[in-house]
């Protein structure tokens, strides 16, 4: 039960983020929903590496660190990539807002001016 409840929170966050990312018109709201999805994935990765061990690995492993903290390493990389994605995404949104003064994804569906 201890592992499952963390995984369920991750799944709920991911589903809420998916709903927001697919249904929102405002581009910044879509980015915020993407952040929710990233966080759900991070919770899942850290919880799995905290509580479980791969079955094939648990027979012969000499370095416990390599399976106990891999999820945390993944989460560090996910957070870094998310930061890069948000910086780039907001820059694109502001550039679009400057050139055609809208931030709605439905208005900016085609790439031409």
Partner 1 sequence: MILGEGTEGALITELVFWVIALSTVVSAIAVVQIRDLFRASLFLIVTLLGVAGLFILLRAEFLAGVQLMVYVGAISVLIIFAILMTRDLEEGSTSHSFRIPVALVSLILMGVSIYAISNTEWNIIGSETLNPDQMNQAAHVFTNGIPTLAKLLLRDFVLAFEVVSVLLLAAVLGSLALVRGR
Residue 2: which residues within 8 A CB-CB, separation 6 or more?
Answer: 51
Residue 69 CA to residue 90 CA, distance in Å, equals: 32
Of the pair 45, 112, the CB lying nearest partner 1 is at: 45
Q: Which of residues 10-39 bind partner 1 (CB under 8 A)?
A: 11-20, 22-26, 28-29, 31-33, 35-36, 39
Structure tokens at 34: 């993407």
Residue 70: which residues within 8 A CB-CB, separation 6 or more?
Answer: 49
Of the pair 20, 110, the CB lying nearest partner 1 is at: 20
Residue 66 within binding range of partner 1, rule CB under 8 A: yes
Of the pair 64, 112, the CB lying nearest partner 1 is at: 64
Residue 61 within binding range of partner 1, rule CB under 8 A: yes
């Amino acid at each position: 039960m201890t592992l499952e409840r963390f995984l369920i929170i991750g799944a709920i966050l991911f589903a809420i983020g998916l709903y927001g990312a697919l249904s929102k018109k405002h581009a910044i709201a879509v980015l915020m929903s993407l952040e929710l999805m990233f966080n759900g994935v991070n919770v899942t990765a850290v919880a799995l590496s905290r509580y479980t061990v791969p079955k094939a690995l648990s027979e012969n492993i000499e370095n416990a660190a390599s399976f106990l903290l891999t999820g945390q390493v993944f989460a560090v990389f996910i957070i870094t990539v998310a930061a890069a994605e948000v910086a780039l995404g907001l820059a694109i949104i502001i550039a679009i807002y400057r050139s055609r003064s809208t931030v709605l994804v439905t208005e900016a569906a085609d790439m031409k001016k």
